[in-house]
Structure 1
Amino acid sequence: MKIENNQSRIIKDTIGKILLYLASALSVMTLVVIIGFVFVKGLPGINIDFLTRQWQAKTTFINVELKNTEDTNLSDSYIASLGAHVEQNEDGYIAVTKLEKDSVLKDSKNLKGAAYEVKVDDVITKVLATDTKNITLEELNKQFNDAAMNGETLKLKVTRPGGGIKPMVVSTLYIILLSLAIAAPIGILSALFLTEYAKRGKILVVIQFAIQMLAGIPSIIYGLFGMLVFVQMLKMQYSILAGALTLSILLLPTIISTTSEALKAIPKGYRESSLGLGATKLQTNFKIVLPNALPGILVAIILSIGRIVGESAALIWTAGTIAQIPSSLTGNTASAATLTTKLYQLLKEEGDVASACSIAVVIIVLIWVLNLLSKWITRRFTVKN
């Protein structure tokens, strides 16, 4: 009988281990497949231009003061009067491939008289009234030098290529910093009040239940609220501040709940020892309780960062979808697309899977870097304390 029971227990243990291994293997395989698919599709599209360029191509008319030149080889791709090397790109236009140190293109001005420095990879699409598509370099060189010999001011139409995610990266970082700057202090102090000061009773139970309910509300509801209140009622328009305020409300339940659990984990002896030594409750909370709860608080911050970076629904209706670097917190120049909202646009409106996967790779790496930074900060504070 004992032998049969032992055999039955061994079989059950074996089945249990097999199920655990299968579940673990399935989880890992799912993660590997998802990450692998994104990286395989997205990595080929990632390069310096993709990371540093603006998303939209920018066209500017500039005036260039030419210098006289007597020694000009018309068969060379060197444009003597401009101090630049150029060549035809795949579209047939003239692209700048190299600029000399004293190139006059570096001192050019736009039509408003403001300085506009031409850079490598900029495309010259028009010279005076002549379209440069499929123009030979000899013809282009001759036109430049004729203008230089006559001392003319050369008017060029210059297009700066787009296709980069720099505006979305900057906007995402702005949203992260603004949202955390608003939500973190409020959430941490609220958690401290609910844990250390609030009296136990029905009111506290209702508040905690409300926080749990808020954590489960879909983000699109927060986006609707943000659009009605911040964008329309407070007239912030689609702006980075409206998006940050909306995300701050969305993050509060996570920060409050996680911070509360971290505060509850601090042994009562720490509080009693501090109070016994003559410290006030406020001093105890800010010098003993909060510093010791810092690792848990950082977990809340890390979770919040991941939520911010991955959020799209709430930001589409509050921050907007314009791929530009915001120059203000509110108004027409404050609307900005983050990485996730741009990813959504590429898939939904353009069906560009390759570019969407490239942005997804950047999002994954960004979250990984921010998590490492948060852990490093946690270790530094833990060692000091």
Structure 2
Amino acid sequence: MKKAIFLLLVLISFNLQAQDSKVSDILNKHFKAVNQSKLNNINSLSIDGLFTQNGIELSLKIFKQRPDKWYQKIELNDTKMVVVMNENSGWEINQFSGIINPVDFNQAKINTYSRSASIDNQLWYLKQNNAKFKNLGNDTVNNKKSIKLKVTNEFGGVSYIWIDTKTYLINQTEDIVTKQKLFYEEYQVIDGMLFPKKVNAGAYQLEFIKIELNPKIDASLFTKGDIKSVKDIAKAYLKTFYNLDYKKLETYYTDESFWFDPSTSVIIPNPQKSIGKNKIIASLKSGFNGVQDAKYTFEKEFYSGSHAAIWGNYFYRIPAKYFQGMKHSDAIFEFNIPMVTNLVIKDGKVLEHFEHADWTEWAKQAQTNAQKANK
């Protein structure tokens, strides 16, 4: 999977600078073909696509914004990789490799990935960064006449680029170290500019399905504080949940989120799911009415992809007057019951919250509390 991800990074960037009139002419024809002069005025873009490996499709989302800000997410079911570049810094979360917290890039990775953060056409970007090149003459790629260029980028890395002699579009690239070849099979026109649509790398294929120009991008995408592990979100969420901070709790839900405790059927006939943030908050306000000093202790935890499973104990106090027949009592009931919480978290939101509590034990404690209060 790491090799597959590397291919996407290679796709975005190479480096080139004209040293003779023939190469300069080739580059100028290429820039005209892709309409680089118009691309210079694009300040942000987003890409939706697919990353396919051995027949398995992964969703791909990219955001770019000048100067050199890049957010990329590759996701399969509930497992994802997030890569972020913010000018001269960068980090990643790679759940495919077991990395669930942000890991900073070293300088070598920053050098490699910084080129991927550029909005510009790959040859244009590389021309601006003092690379050296050599025209190796004519060649053939998939039965198409092509010009082969040797490129030495600003960090000393060497690549080959083939440019179609008819369209002056890139049709193949190769990294001299990894020997990895990328074939550009199609281009698409977006507002008069040409962008690659399909890239074939043998066992790996890339497809850019939708490209949007100058979208409004949430600045928090490029900050490390926005990238939190499922574990961090789960713990922060449950702390908010049992602190009964309803205003903050709303920020964790969407209109598709739900909360459900089927185990309450022991004490409440036919319990129902609460779906949508408004109904969840209303249900919690009703269910937790009168609750004091609520807290949830974490005894065991398990995290996998977007799933969190947490075993613990739920402790709280509540005035006896909230119970039938105890209206005039000044007693305070205490409860401490085992509970399992299962969460599904995606993009920082809690989509599913399942609880399973020992409500039989709760009923026993309620009876004990009532007997003490009546003495």
TM-score range, shorter chain: under 0.3
Q: Which has the higher contact order (CA 8 A, sep 6+)?
A: 1
Choose 1 or 2 for highest CA Rg.
Answer: 1
TM-score computed with the length of structure 1 as normaliser: 0.22
More strand by share: 2
More helix by share: 1
